[in-house]
Amino acid sequence: MKLVVSKFGGSSVATKEKIERLADIIRLDAARRCIVLSAPGKAPGFDVKVTDLLIAAVDKALNRQDYAEPAAGVKARFAAIYEPLGVERGKIDEALADLDGRLSSPTSHPGKFRDLVVAAGEDINCKLFADYLNIVGVKAKYVCPKAAGLVVTPIFGDAQPLPEAGAGLAALKNECAEQIVVFPGFFGYTADGDVATFSRGGSDLTGAILAEAIDAAEYENWTDVDGIFSAHPKMVDSPDQITALTYKEMRELSYIGFNVLHEEAVRPVLKKKIPIRLRNANNIDNKGTLIVSERLPGDRDVAGIASGGGYCSFTLQKFLMNREKGFGRRLLSIFEDMGLSYEHCPSGVDNISVILDQNQLKPETVNSIIRAIDEQLAPDETETEFGIALVSVVGEGLVRKIGVLSQATSALSRAGVNIKLVNQGSSEISMIFGIDASDEKKAVNALYKEFF
Ligand code: ASP
């Protein structure tokens, strides 16, 4: 039996009308039998996401303050969505009483308490949605992640699925044959039986874990955008939508500028090469963007142009640097020892640069880095630069094509953009240019025009 896992994000479950549309979407394809939901997101008249209200309630409870207001906000949201849809008031009250139970549980372990409460958004939503589907004649069942065996690490707020989760979850295949399974996103249970959530946006990860476990033919991820665009719509006017791209290309695009899927959501589906399809619940005629393991024939060489600002560089010059053993390692360990991660490390014969996200740095950290570099590496010169933007041309087709780099650099030079650094990783999936942040829009448009 062909099974599709369909995950709907907070914006797709935010109102009564959206829930009705979601039921229509499910009816349109008999393979959509495993549904993962987020908690309701923002909606007209409700400018706070349910998850954020729950977090506010947790913070108040932990500070021994009255949490009645955010808790009432959560209840009002669910009542506003499900009561007009015909879900019995008794069922709604029962689900909401569960929230009260969670909020009055012990707070001695703040992480456990937080996750127990915060996970209620997804859990209540799925219980009520399964009820609603049955009311409209679609046979459905809420499945509790604990009963289904979704075991996770006890890292509260940032749990990871454990390998043994797969075996238990595989049994959902049979459940899906019987009826539609409605599974809450965002959390699992530790081996000790405590609720532990993934990091924010983690329902994407739940969908991917289920897709892997039940050998889904496709993992659909429904949001409120049509898919991935070849450039960010904030940078380029009406950019083309990408019809298909590979997991690696998506990763490169989301690294700077594109916020597509939860970062960890690709790993489970990658193993089994399950395609992910990003779709817009407000525009179901659009087939979205397909993310696959290998390029499809006829795909463009360049999939997209991504960009992002806020980087800085430390560039060292030292005569005969290339002969000094361990120079690069010692340089990088200075950053490591200060708890900083670096993005790129392009080098020349007698020079090397380290590019970092500048938001990690405080003014005093910059001085400490320079001091450590002087003491440990004695360079002839060290230069720091802030306000760098990175622009990336992404495409697995780059490997096959001669002259893409010259095409890109010519386009940038014609646009009057000064390139400060070029980094083409050995995988040849992307070419990254470091430029002045004030040139970002100009550069993205020049590259977009060149390749699309
Ligand atoms: N509701 C959670 C959040 O807002 C998880 C999710 O939507 O994926 O982060």
Q: Is the CB of 221 under 6 A from ligand 1?
A: no
How would DSSP label each residue in 175-214? HHHHSEEEEE-SEEE-TTS-EEE-STTTHHHHHHHHHHHT
In a mutational test of the pocket of ligand 1, which residue from 186, 209, 222, 264 has the highest number of ligand atoms less than 8 Å from its CB? Answer: 186
Contacts of 37 (CB under 8 A, 6+ apart): 7, 8, 13, 122, 125, 126, 129, 182, 183, 184, 185, 203
Average pLDDT, integer, range 281-292: 95
pLDDT at 2: 95
Question: Which CATH number characterizes residue 394's domain?
Answer: 3.30.2130.10
Q: What atom of ligand 1 comes closest to residue 202's alpha carbon? A: 8
Q: What separation in Å is there between the alpha carbon of 50 and the centre of ligand 1?
A: 9
- Mean pLDDT lowest among 30-39, 194-203, 265-274, 399-408: 399-408
Indicate the residue type of 37: L
Q: Residue 206 CA: which ligand 1 atom is closest?
A: 8
Over residues 244-270, mean pLDDT: 86
Looking at the structure, tell me whether residues 213 and 316 fall in a common domain.
no
Give the pLDDT band (50/70/90) at residue 252: confident
Per-residue confidence band for 301, with pLDDT thresholds at 50, 70 and 90:
confident
Report how far ligand 1's centroid is from the alpha carbon of 202 (Å): 6
Give pLDDT, residue 339. Answer: 95
Is 271 part of a structural domain of the chain? no
pTM over 0.95: no
Q: Reduced to 3 states, what is the DSSP secondary structure of residue 340? A: coil
What number is the average pLDDT over the span 219-242? Answer: 93
One-letter amino acid of 407: Q
Kindly state the average pLDDT of the residues 302-316: 95
The per-residue pLDDT for 59 is: 98
- Say which residue, 250 or 85, is predicted with more confidence: 85
178-192: average pLDDT:
98
Based on the fold, state whether residues 200 and 335 are members of the same structural domain: no
Query: Is 64 within the bounds of a domain?
Result: yes
Shared domain for 66 and 211, answered yes or no, is: yes
Report the candidate in 364, 341, 342, 338 with the shortest Cα–Cα distance to residue 353: 342
For residue 125, being part of any structural domain is answered with: yes
Looking at the structure, tell me whether residues 320 and 439 fall in a common domain.
yes
Does any domain span residue 70? Answer: yes
Contact 378, 318 (CB under 8 A): yes
Cα(65)–Cα(76) distance, rounded to whole angstroms?
A: 20
Q: 176, 200, 224 — which closes off a domain?
A: 224
Using 50, 70 and 90 to split pLDDT, how confident is the model at 423? confident
Does residue 288 sit within a domain?
no
Confidence grade of residue 299 (pLDDT, cut at 50, 70, 90): confident
The better pLDDT of the pair 391, 259 is held by 391
The per-residue pLDDT for 295 is: 80
Average pLDDT over residues 73-84: 96
% of the chain beyond a pLDDT of 70 = 99
Yes or no: say if 89 and 95 are a contact pair by the CB < 8 Å rule. no
CB 2 within 8 A of CB 275: no
Evaluate if residue 426 carries a pLDDT over 90: no
Q: How confident is the model at residue 255 (pLDDT cuts 50, 70, 90)?
A: confident
Percent of the chain with pLDDT strictly greater than 90: 87
Last residue within a domain, chosen from 205, 224, 243? 224
Residue 293 within any structural domain of the chain: no
Q: Are 68 and 202 in the same domain?
A: yes
Residue with CA closest to ligand 1 atom 8: 201
Domain that includes residue 396, residue range: 304-451
pLDDT above 90: residue 348: no
Amino acid identity, position 95? A
The per-residue pLDDT for 31 is: 98
Q: What is the CATH number of the domain that holds 48?
A: 3.40.1160.10
| pLDDT, tens digit, 9 for 90 and up, residues 365-409 | 999 999 999 999 999 999 999 999 999 999 988 877 888 889 999
Q: Looking at the 3D structure of the chain, how many domains does it have?
A: 2
Last residue of a domain, one of 170, 192, 224: 224
Is the shortest distance between the CB of 184 and ligand 1 below 6 Å? no
259 has pLDDT over 80: no
> What number is the average pLDDT over the span 352-356?
95
Average pLDDT over residues 317-339: 95
- Supply angle C-alpha 434, 391, 349, rounded to 5: 35
State the pLDDT confidence band at 25, using cuts at 50, 70 and 90: very high
Same domain, 8 and 97: yes
Q: Please compute the mean of the pLDDT values over residues 199-216 and round it to a whole number.
A: 97
Longest dimension (CA), the chain: 78
Give residue 260's pLDDT band: very low, low, confident or very high (50, 70, 90). Answer: confident
Mean pLDDT within 298-316: 91
Q: Give pLDDT, residue 269.
A: 94
Q: Which of 49, 54, 209 to mutate to test the pocket of ligand 1 (most atoms within 8 A of CB)?
A: 49
Does the Cβ of 185 fall within 6 Å of ligand 1?
A: yes
SS3 of 302, please? coil
Mean pLDDT, the chain, as a whole number?
Answer: 94
pLDDT tens column, 126-179: 999 999 999 999 999 999 999 999 999 999 999 999 999 999 999 999 999 999
Q: Does 362 reside within a domain?
A: yes
Tokens matching residue 138: 């679609």
DSSP classification of residue 240: P
How far, in Å, from the CA of 74 to the mean position of ligand 1?
14
Whether 332 is in a domain gets the answer yes
300 band by pLDDT with thresholds 50, 70 and 90: confident
pLDDT band at 353 (very low <50, low <70, confident <90, very high): very high
